[in-house]
Amino acid sequence: MSNDTLRDLSQNPLVQKLGVPRIPVLRRHKPGAPLLAGPALVGAIGAGRFADSIHALLEDAGVTDAGEEGKVAAVVLDATAARTLDDLAAVARFLTPAVKRLAPGGRLLVLSPEAGASDVEAAAVAQAFDGLIRSAGKEVRAGATANLLTAAPDAPPAAVDSSVRFFLSARSTYVDGQVVRVGTPVGPAQDPVGMDDPHDVDHPLAGRVAVVTGAARGIGAAIAATLARDGATIVAVDIPAAGEALARVANTAGGTALQLDITAPDAAERLIAHVQERYGKVDVVVHNAGITRDKLLANMDADRWNAVMAVNLRAQLAINAALLDSDVLSDTGRVVCVASTSGIAGNRGQSNYAASKAGVIGMVRALAPKLAERGATINAIAPGFIETEMTAKMPLGTREAGRRINSLRQGGLPVDVAETVGWLGQAESGGVTGQVVRVCGQSLLGA
């Protein structure tokens, strides 16, 4: 049993007979499991630049091509050549019969062109994909998802590989209705994961050192465990008061624990010294530590405001500035900042928290070009309703509302956020930077 009783009950045919719709049990990644549970239908509009490399990636992963009929585990359409409304009509002609064939838990992934400024019809068509895919996300059923990769005109075919793999896999189970831009990868060219040894697909973070703040519990502990599972060495950071839990997380992950209040004036210095001494470099920095101090704006006091800003935003700004000033971040550095859908949609009683999380998104966008100069990326992940100790303590009505107002009609798990961190943390994900990816099951809030 999970802590989502309604979803568990809804699996029972007798309960379904009472008119309770079945809430899907989502497929989650298991090491060694195939990328897809069935065949894939792959199409292209015109001269699809990415179709060949997607075919090669699927073949490498042992995925078969779908025939003319029958259920498919994924539909992938390279529509990056679409420029006109006629092209867009061809997209609809391909997708209409294709989505009918999508199996439970299936994946719809479309690659679209980036809007340019010169050709107005092409710009309109490029933006049209946004509405198309977000609507498809709301229509596909039984745990299926729909996402869009917008490819920059100069992005080489291999730039999308790690993203295609993520969005097709069970790792992206709670990522739905998202639009992610993929550009020319920053930094040195990367060997595609799994090309030499297909088993490496299970260890896409092999040899990488990852710092995770707020790692003692909740989402941070899941990030530490998931990145370690994928091959990373973990530096688990949390406040001294969480020392015991932190040591457990670090031991299980096989890394080191660093007791550190990230708001301390010397926090960035100590963090950098720790990784420099132990490992000589850091590849992935995950800013996950965060706090809430909810109060209506009309009653907000300076302590609540400042405490939230200090942990959620000021500390991230200081650590990122120190990383930029040092040479500890490797030339495939990946910074991942945990924001929140509250920072996108706003939330009653959370003006301080939402401001801090929206601030994280602003920081990510401003830092992306600076980090790109050093071959590094920075992205934000905005979780929606995630089943944690925090959400378990909510009053039943608020909790139920939070859980159900998304396309997958359930909350996500900490591991769903962690898997998304893992994708962005790969050396191979250098084409994705300055993006905000919501892990929210396509929540109606902030959509």
Q: Which residues of 13-34 are buried (b: 16+ CB within 10 A; e: fewer)?
A: eeeeeeeeebbbbbbebeeeee
Distance from C-alpha of 192 to C-alpha of 57, rounded to nearest angstrom: 10
Which residues are CB-neighbours of 351 under 8 A, at least 6 positions away? 296, 297, 300
**Least distance in angstroms from the C-beta of 133 to ligand NAD:** 23
Q: Which residue, 187 or 214, is less far from ligand NAD as judged by CB?
A: 214
Which of the ranges 42-50, 66-74, 166-174, 378-386 carries the binding residues for ligand NAD, by CB under 6 A? 378-386
**Residue 261: how many other CB atoms lie within 10 Å:** 16
How far is CA 433 from each of CA 2, 70, 179, 375, 377, rounded to the nearest angstrom? 35, 37, 13, 11, 5
Query: Which is closer to ligand NAD, CB of 48 or CB of 220?
Result: 220
Q: Rule CB under 6 A: choose which of 126, 140, 212, 219 binds ligand NAD.
A: 219
In the complex, least distance from residue 45 CB atom to ligand NAD, rounded to whole angstroms: 36
Helix, coil or strand: residue 284: strand
Cβ closest to ligand NAD, residue 116 vs residue 243: 243
Q: How far from chain centre, in Å, is Cα 143?
A: 17
> What one-character DSSP code corresponds to residue 94?
H
Can residue 400 be called a binding residue for ligand NAD (CB under 6 A)? no
Q: What x-and-dash track marks residues 66-85 binding ligand NAD by CB under 6 A?
A: --------------------
Q: How many residues lie near ligand NAD (CB under 6 A)?
A: 27
> Taking contact as CB under 6 A, which single stretch among the options 12-20, 146-154, 204-212, 256-264 is the one that binds ligand NAD?
256-264
Please say whether the beta carbons of 367 and 325 come within 8 A.
no
Told to check if 313 binds ligand NAD by CB under 6 A, we report: no
Tokens 């159900």, residue?
A: 404
Give residues with Cβ within 8 angstroms of 44, minimum separation 6.
50, 51, 77, 78, 79, 81
User: Any idea what DSSP says for residue 406?
Assistant: B
Residue from the set 22, 294, 391, 445 that interacts with ligand NAD by CB under 6 A: 391
Q: Contact with ligand NAD (CB under 6 A): which of 4, 78, 176, 238?
A: 238
**Is 353 assigned a catalytic role?**
yes
Instruction: Based on the shown chain and the rule CB under 6 A, indicate whether residue 216 belongs to the binding site for ligand NAD.
Output: yes
Among 43, 187, 220, 255, interactor with ligand NAD by CB under 6 A: 220
Catalytic residue among 94, 353, 385, 423: 353
Does 193 bind ligand NAD (CB under 6 A)? Our answer is: no
**Residue range at the interface with ligand NAD (CB under 6 A); choices 33-41, 98-106, 144-152, 286-294:** 286-294
Distances (CA, A) of 169 to 41, 147, 154, 222, 437: 15, 12, 26, 18, 16
Footprint of ligand NAD (CB under 6 A) = 213-214, 216-220, 238-239, 242, 261-263, 288-291, 311, 338, 340, 383, 385-386, 388-391
Question: Looking at the annotation, which residues are catalytic?
Answer: 353
